[in-house]
Structure 1
Amino acid sequence: MADDFRTTEVGARYAQALFDLALETGKLDLVRADLASLKAAWIESADLRRLATSPVIAAEDQSKGLAAIAVKAKFHQTTQNFLGLLAQNGRARDLAAVITGFEALYARHTGVVAAEVVSTQALTTAQLTHIRNAIREAVGKAPELTARVDPSILGGLKVKVGSKLFDASLKTKLDQMKFALRRA
């Protein structure tokens, strides 16, 4: 799910095309908001992931499905057209990579530092403020922070800032201990 959001060469090319179009037409923030909603839906919906990535679903059906989602979500026409094109070209499976590429281009263009915090429970406003301040001190810029809940990390936090991952989750620590014990 969240691991789907890695950059690929194809994703980067499509992201660049969408970014250039959105910038040129003055719709950059609208398209960015649409992609943020789509990313959240991707993480939450196994059906959406299956629609986009299944090799047995025809490109035409993927296109219709993504178009229906875009209309229902009231995405901007630029985003709707792009999703249709992506599916028609048989590249719906690259949607997560396109979103990642677009986010990187947007961050570079605006100077925004994107950060994601993963915890086992929803964090309070005070906790998020503390994390935001710590990231600001570490990177010298105010981050745009998103928070996600993932009970599978068992405890602790994972904080991703740009391409760097700071993993202080209990699951990772237990895995490291298990690995160290096997080597001993």
Structure 2
Amino acid sequence: MGSATTQALAAATAALNAAPSVDLDTARELFAAARIVGGSPQLSGALADPSASGDSRARVITDVFGGAFGATTTSLLTTVVRERWSTAAQLVDGIEELAVRAAAISAPGVDVDGELFSASRLVADNPEVELALGSRLGDDSAKGSLVQTLLAGRASDATILIVSSLVQQPRERRVRQMLSQAMDLVADQRGSIVATVFTATPLQPAQSERLSAVLTQRYGKKVGLNAVIDPSILGGLRVQIADDVIDASVAARLTDLRQRLAG
């Protein structure tokens, strides 16, 4: 990610957090904008054109979306295109990131990142579902309908919107990759981070609380836990937070011991 994109994302996120009213419609419209801009090389190129002034790029937003989207969405999109982005593709990614964050804001009392994790596990445990949602040849609207069917009664409207929108605009990304990125964005929007904990048997509530407290102290942010039961680790646990892996599993210790004996 280029420095221009980093600065643009920071400005767009600040504008979102300062917006007087952000609801699920805002998120829905931002996802639609990402889909429209991402589907038109001419439009995305014009909106990311560094040779054009911020005012001229903002006028394009008003001309294309002003009559279709609410005032909050249009204002956010105007802020987005006034910034300079390293590439047109990163501009599209930025709009989509705002959409995910807006969905999180719209559901303050809902464990959206936890629901996204459950959706990711559902996909991981069902190869047919993953194939249907990730196929490049599949109909996008059918993918959205499949998500609605799978998650109805299991997840909030905010989570269903995020998942159904992402699978309809994959842009060369795998389904679980998109859901993982969305989980991280939701957690970041709420001032926390997500740890995936692999254990051979379920953690007891007291164990989860202690682990969360230790990780929170280590990372300086509240750490939420998503648990995965994996008998292959035999015992102990393995924790993954973004690119960090803390492996205290029995399987890892046995592997280390075998390597020492062989060396």
Query: How far apart are residue 175 of structure 1 and its match?
Result: 1.8
Task: In structure 1, list runs of 5 or more residues that go unmatched.
Answer: 1-11
**Could you tell me how far apart the structure 1 residues matched to 2:219 and 2:166 are?**
34
1:115 corresponds to 2:187: no
Query: How far apart are residue 120 of structure 1 and its match?
Result: 0.3
User: What TM-score do the two structures reach when normalised by structure 2?
Assistant: 0.52
**Aligned twin of 2:146:** 68
Letter in 1 for 2:119: L
**Aligned twin of 1:21:** 99
**Could you tell me how far apart the structure 1 residues matched to 2:238 and 2:218 are?**
15
**Aligned twin of 1:172:** 252
**Aligned twin of 1:59:** 138
Count of equivalent residues: 166
User: What TM-score do the two structures reach when normalised by structure 1?
Assistant: 0.70
**Could you tell me how far apart the structure 1 residues matched to 2:165 and 2:197 are?**
29
**Could you tell me how far apart the structure 2 residues matched to 1:41 and 1:23 are?**
22
Larger radius of gyration: 2
Contact kept? 1:155, 1:169, Cα under 8 Å = yes
> Deviation digits for residues 62-117 of structure 1, max 9, x if unmatched?
75255223234236363365145236x6x4x6111111222232333332121222
> Deviation digits for residues 10-37 of structure 1, max 9, x if unmatched?
xx98764433124457546679455333
Contact kept? 2:197, 2:225, Cα under 8 Å = yes
Give secondary structure in 1 for the equivalent of 2:128.
Answer: helix
Contact kept? 2:194, 2:223, Cα under 8 Å = yes
Letter in 2 for 1:86: Q
Identity level (%): 19
**Aligned twin of 2:117:** 36
**Aligned twin of 1:148:** 228
Contact kept? 1:116, 1:145, Cα under 8 Å = yes
Aligned-pair RMSD on alpha carbons? 3.2
Structure 1's 108 and 176: CA in aligned 2 closer, same or farther, altered over 3 A?
same
**Aligned twin of 1:85:** 168
